[in-house]
Amino acid sequence: MGHAGRQFQALLWKNWLCRLRHPVLSLAEFFWPCILFMILTVLRFQEPPRHREN
């Protein structure tokens, strides 16, 4: 493995350690987009589609 490969491996290891040390942030990073998607879906279905005459 070359120098770039070792740097990449070190970066992945550092990222993994950060995720282990901050589990709440890791969960928030996963759930925040899901929550936003659900909110947008609910808002979209609250308003019925509007049909316009051509």
Is-contact 39 31, C-beta < 8 A?
A: no
Cα end-to-end distance, the chain, whole Å: 63
Q: What is the pLDDT of residue 6?
A: 95
Q: What is the pLDDT of residue 1?
A: 64
The Cα–Cα gap between 23 and 40 comes to 26
pLDDT digits 0-9 by tens, 1-48: 689 999 999 999 999 999 999 999 989 999 999 999 999 999 999 988
Q: How confident is the model at residue 49 (pLDDT cuts 50, 70, 90)?
A: confident
Domain edges within the chain: 7-46
**Per-residue exposure over 6-25, b if at least 16 CB sit within 10 Å of its own CB, e if not:** eeeeeeeeeeeeeeeeeeee
The Cα–Cα gap between 22 and 19 comes to 5
